[in-house]
Amino acid sequence: MNAVAKLGLKQRYSLLTRGLDWEPSYQSKSAIYPYAEFEGIKIHDWSKWEDPFRLTMDAYWKFQAEKERKLYAVLDSFAQNNGQMGLTDARYVNAVKLFLTGVSPLEYQAHRGFAHVGRHIPGVGPRVAAQMQSLDELRHVQTQIHTLSHYNKFFDGLHEFPHMHDRVWYLSVPKSFFDDARTAGPFEYFIAIGFAFEYVLTNLLFVPFMSGAAYNGDLATVTFGFSAQSDESRHMTLGIEVIKFLLEQDPDNLPIVQKWVDKWFWRGHRVLGLVAMMMDYMLPKKIMSWREAWEIYFTEAGGSLFQDLSRYGLRVPKYADVATAEADHISHQNWAVFYQYTHAAGFHTWLPSAEEMDWLSEKYPTTFDKYYRPRFEMWGEMAKEGKRFYNNALPQLCTTCQIPMAYTEPGDPTTISFRHSHYKGDTYHFCSDGCKDIFDNEPEKYSQSWLPVHQIFQGNCGGASVEEVLKWYRLNLGADNLDQAGSPDQAQWDAWMEARRRVAG
């Protein structure tokens, strides 16, 4: 018994996993995998699938258990030591609020979505990988809730995150993004989340933003962030393997995949505008600008990737040039929207300080001073005169990305970009060519969009006044919304800092 050959990792994994599937004969394959064909993707030989990672379930448990032990030790210690008091500034917490209400529910959606493809993709290799990703994504939502649960005890705006995610106007941006992916077929879902989101875009959220969390003293968030990223590297690799596999299997898959890559790149770019704003405006101590992060993680890493994929005929996503140009504008335009609508948001806003504006000028030499500084300075003057600027009109939303129509024309930062399409007698409005294209390709899907402003006007959101709508969101008025200055969060923070000075003194 001792003279047996030692098995290498690849061979062992293959024996324990790849052989599990069988050709059914009592039920048809199409009954067992009913969603494998309607998208038009052609797969001839699933055995050609290359497993990027080869974790058997026991190895998965072992590594994931170790990660969790480490993570929860940090969370316990953060809570016991009131780690929130080590933050650079109370303003930072607003980024965390946006994270729990806007991002964590997406992790949940990813979990259920990967269960769907982990059941329905008819190839054993990608199916097992998708199931592990489903488990990982459940991990991410649960560890995020556990981490941010401590913040919820001390700060406003986090206490109704699932309720808010299903209703609040700006949260319909990330929610509709994931609803879109999850209602797509299994292959499109894989490309949307596994490739466009995980590979091309998630790095931007989880690497520079989390490094920023570390820089701002949030030891809990950075720990779950980097711990989650250790799973993401598996997910990114899975995404890239899926795309290569589809392109290798049949040349007819190329136009379908290209359309998905174009669509999901643009969808992801729009959602990530929220992260752009978190990095440039919401981190009290800055680590790198959105522009710089975009260069490292999209231009450089994405560039190498698309060069690699060009051998299959796949090109860089449509409008990547527009998105790269927008990196000079998007964080400023988004922050301006939230500043104007801060009375209707579940987190606080503020105007950047003189120092912060100088940092923005330095990081955005061609745009900040010319287009955005004057606006913020004017709003600052108005606030000083007791006329803090609020926009009380409900904004028009883009039907596709659901962001208020505040983005500007490519190459013309002083003109708002409007596009529209007609479908079945109605007119639909868009913020960009990217969003209009997406609608025009699937009008029957996007004409169903649950647009928060339309829903308010139709009387489906608790009432006609802003106050009634905010109550329907379960926001505590005067606590969860409005300016950081004068908020209960800020008052409490000031009291802590004052008390700490006394104790120290």
Partner 1 sequence: MPRIASLTLQDTDTARPIIEAITEDNPGATVHSFPGIVKIDREGSLTVRRESVESRIGRVWDPQELHLSIVSMAGNVDEDDDYFSVAWTN
Partner 2 sequence: MTIEIKTLKVEPRRQTFGHIARRYGADKPASRYDEATLDVQATANFHYKPLWGADHWLYDERRTRVTMADWYKLRDPRQYYYATYNIARAGQYQTTERNIEFVDKRGLLAHLDPAWRETVETYLLPLRHMEWGANLNCTNICDLGYGTAVTAASIFAAGDHLALAQIIGRIGLLLDGNTGASLDRAKDRWMTAPEWQGLRRLTEDTLVVKDWFELLLAQNLAIDGILYPLVYGRFDAAGQALGGSAVSMLTEFMNEWFTEHSRWVDAVIKTAAAESPENRALLTGWFATWASRAAGAFAPLADHVLGAEEGTRALAEVVGGLQARAKTLGLAV
- 471 near partner 2 (CB under 8 A): no
Out of 9, 10, 24, 426, which residue is the one contacting partner 2 (CB under 8 A)? 24
Smallest separation, CB 440 to partner 1 (Å) = 32
- 111 near partner 2 (CB under 8 A): yes
Q: Which is nearer to partner 2, 173 or 205 (CB)?
A: 173
Smallest separation, CB 199 to partner 1 (Å) = 9
Triad 181, 182, 188: Cα angle to 5°: 50
Smallest separation, CB 191 to partner 2 (Å) = 14
| Element spanning 430, H or E | strand 426-430
Q: How many residues does the chain have?
A: 505
Which of partner 1, partner 2, none lies near 503, with the C-beta cut-off 5 to 8 A by kind? partner 2
- B/e letters for 154-165, b = 16+ CB within 10 Å, e = fewer, are bbbbbbbbeebb
Which of partner 2, partner 1, none lies near 26, with the C-beta cut-off 5 to 8 A by kind? partner 2
In the block, residue with structure tokens 């949307």: 192
Which of partner 1, partner 2, none lies near 305, with the C-beta cut-off 5 to 8 A by kind? partner 1
Out of 126, 174, 185, 346, which residue is the one contacting partner 2 (CB under 8 A)? 185
What are the helix (H) ranges across 44-92?
57-80
Which of partner 1, partner 2, none lies near 300, with the C-beta cut-off 5 to 8 A by kind? partner 1
Q: Which is nearer to partner 1, 72 or 215 (CB)?
A: 215
Residues 274-333 that bind partner 2 (CB under 8 A): none
**Neighbour-count burial of 503, counting CB atoms closer than 10 A to its CB (0-12 exposed, 13-18 middle, 19+ buried):** exposed
Residues 6+ apart with CB under 8 A from 117: 126, 127, 130, 186, 189, 190
- 491 near partner 2 (CB under 8 A): no
User: What separation in angstroms does the CA of 252 have from each of 34, 77, 258, 264, 406?
Assistant: 21, 54, 11, 20, 38
Smallest separation, CB 429 to partner 1 (Å) = 37
**Neighbour-count burial of 109, counting CB atoms closer than 10 A to its CB (0-12 exposed, 13-18 middle, 19+ buried):** buried
Binding-residue pattern over the window 147 to 176 for partner 2, x denoting contact by CB under 8 A? --x--xxxxx-xxxxxx-xxx----x--xx
On whether the CB atoms of residues 240 and 150 are closer than 8 A, the answer is no
**Contact set with partner 1 (CB under 8 A):** 8-10, 52-55, 59, 63, 66-67, 203, 206-208, 210-212, 214-215, 222, 226, 229-230, 232-234, 236-237, 240, 287-288, 300-301, 303-305, 307-308, 311
Residues 442-461 that bind partner 2 (CB under 8 A): 445-446, 448-450, 455
Mapped onto helix, strand or coil, the DSSP state of residue 154 is helix
